[in-house]
Structure 1
Amino acid sequence: MSYAIAYVATFLVFLAVDFVGLSYVIKPLFMRAIAPLMLENFRVIPAFLFYAFLVFVVMWFVSWPALTADKSLLWVFGSAALIGAAAYGTYEFTNYAILKDWTATLVITDLAWGTFLTGFSATAGVAIARLVVS
């Protein structure tokens, strides 16, 4: 039961926090740099699949071990942030390597955002699961 609570909590926190970040930081930055490449409305299914899979990976490698071995929330944040950095870094550095209008500012901002977002969401998910189950 605590695993399901942690997954749902992590997923919902991820969506809510990312909505704010995308709306006020990432989208305006991307619009200035690569507006001609952007869709007017994002594709919901691919976005949902990425979020669902990333949260599952974080659950597998971070949240489940934290719930069974009572790891600290600092451990959860750091471990999940590392996964976030790998996921967002793959996207950002690949784009920077192959797309002419991709900028270092896009890389740094989105990489930092994804790293923080993943660490924060996992930490919140584990904390919520611990509160609900205890």
Structure 2
Amino acid sequence: MSYTLAYVVTFLVFLAVDFVGLSYLIKPLFERAIGPLMLENFRVVPAFLFYAFLVFVVMWFVSWPALSADKSLLWVFGSAALIGAAAYGTYEFTNYAILKDWTTTLVMADLAWGTFLTGFSATAGVALARLFTS
């Protein structure tokens, strides 16, 4: 039960925090740099699939081991942040390497955001799962 709870909480925290971050931090940067390329409304299904898969990977490698072996929340944050950096970094550095209007500001802002978001979400999921199952 704690594994399912950790997944659901991590997923919901990820969505809620990312909605705020995308709306007020990341989207304005992207609009300035690549506004004409952006859709008016984002595609929900690909976004949902990315979030669901990324949270599953974080659960597999970080949250479930943390719940089984009682790892510290600092370990959870650092390990999940590393996965977030790999996921967001792959996207950002690939775009920077091949797209002429991609900027270092986009790379650094979105990489920092995805790293923090993934670490924070996993930490919240593990902390709440521990709280409600102990």
TM over 0.5: yes
Percentage of pairs with the same residue: 90
4+ residue stretches of structure 1 with deviation over 2 A? none
2:35 equivalent in structure 1:
35
In 2, Cα distance between equivalents of 1:18 and 1:115: 12
Letter of the structure 2 residue corresponding to residue 132 of structure 1 = F
- Count of aligned positions: 134
Taking structure 2 as the reference length, the TM-score comes to: 1.00
- Quote the offset at 1:51 in angstroms: 0.1
Task: State the TM-score, normalizing by the size of structure 1.
Answer: 1.00
- Counterparts of 1:9-28 in structure 2, within 5 Å, are 9-28=9-28
**Where in structure 2 are there 5+ consecutive unaligned residues?**
none
Corresponding residue number in structure 1 for 2:89: 89
The residue identity in structure 1 corresponding to 2:112 is: A
Q: Distance in 2 between matches of 1:15 and 1:97?
A: 28
In 2: Cα distance, 1:41 partner to 1:75 partner: 37
Deviation at 1:132, TM superposition (A): 0.6
- Which residue pairs with 2:125 in the alignment? 125
What is the alpha-carbon distance in structure 1 between the residues aligned to residue 79 and residue 86 of structure 2? Answer: 11
- Alignment match, 1:4: 4
Deviations 1:47-106 (A, max 9, x none): 000000000000000000000000000000000000000000000000000000000000
CA distance in 1, matches of 2:29, 2:102: 11
Where in structure 1 are there 5+ consecutive unaligned residues? none
Q: Distance in 2 between the 1:78 and 1:88 partners?
A: 15
